[in-house]
Amino acid sequence: MDETGDYELDHIMLTRGAISERISELAASISGEYGGGELIFTGVLKGAVIFMSDLVRSLDRSVDARMDFIAVSSYGNASASSGAVKMIKDMDTCIEGKNVILVEDIMDTGLTLSYLKDTLTARGPETLRTCVLLEKPDRKKVDSILDYRGFTIPDEFVVGYGLDYAGKWRNLPDIWCVTKR
């Protein structure tokens, strides 16, 4: 049986239009703060790739945007975070003295974002900000300051626009709620 055979798409939570509009607003805020300067966007693989790509392309051209990636695991093939964060791939860029925005697809418990903020802060960036597409405040286990937030959503399992379950559904242009069969 397919690993995702026990889940199915239920309904669209956020349309591609709503996502695009919110990304334009986030990009305008970031451009206003960092226009004319270098800014390193560090995307958390694999879920943040689509969000970060659209965000960077929406920035004002005065922002000298660089991109790097980091990969951690806290879900595996589960539908909820395990709470244990494991580094899989580190960044290639030295961020000491640089302005950095850590880009994540979703903040569920906050454990992954907290781990990454601590890890990157120890590397001495000039500034370190966080930008997440989705936040689930009902699942939050740690206080984690978000500088830029796309949407606050209820505690539902979601896929699409880069978010997946066992590698499936990342390609959907909308964000869907998923339910057990």
Residues with a known catalytic role: 108
Q: Tell me which amino acid residue 90 is.
A: D
Instruction: Report yes or no: 165 and 7 within 8 Å, Cβ to Cβ.
Output: yes
CA angle 131, 59, 100 (to 5 degrees): 45
Q: Are strands 175-180 and 158-159 parallel, antiparallel or unpaired?
A: antiparallel
**Alpha-carbon gap, residue 75 to 166, rounded angstroms:** 9
Q: Is 99 helix (H, G, I), strand (E, B) or coil?
A: strand
Q: Which H/E stretch holds residue 29?
A: helix 16-34
